[in-house]
Amino acid sequence: MSKTTIYVCNGKNCKEDDSKKTRNAFRNLVEEQGLDNKILVDSCNCMGKCGKGPVVRVEPVGLRAKYIAPKKCSAFLESLLAGTLEKEFDAKKKKD
């Protein structure tokens, strides 16, 4: 079974939205929770959703998410593991 990969956009606009902090938050959570054998966190190029960052893509499930600020990562990861995320997830529509 292939690993789930969380790609955090590293494009110019998402960088301005602190995507590096989001990537680090995901990496820390994965390590803390011992999920290294299941989940990989990587960066990717612009996904064309600029201004809605940090933008995240999860493969191989084909999920896309926007406005994933570092404080949203924990709940996002929990929902991802539970399989309850929508394919087009918008963190602005969810409470913290």
What is the contact surface with ligand FES in residues (CB under 6 A)?
Answer: 9, 11-14, 46-50, 53, 55
Q: Measured from the CB of residue 31, what is the shortest distance to ligand FES in angstroms?
A: 24
- Quote the Cα angle for 7-68-73, to 5°: 80
Residue nearer to ligand FES on the CB measure, 9 or 65: 9
SS (H, E, C) 1-48: CCCEEEEEECCHHHHHCCHHHHHHHHHHHHHHCCCCCCEEEEEECCCC
Q: Measured from the CB of residue 76, what is the shortest distance to ligand FES in angstroms?
A: 16
Residue nearer to ligand FES on the CB measure, 16 or 78: 16
User: Residue with structure tokens 């394919």?
Assistant: 87
Residue nearer to ligand FES on the CB measure, 29 or 53: 53
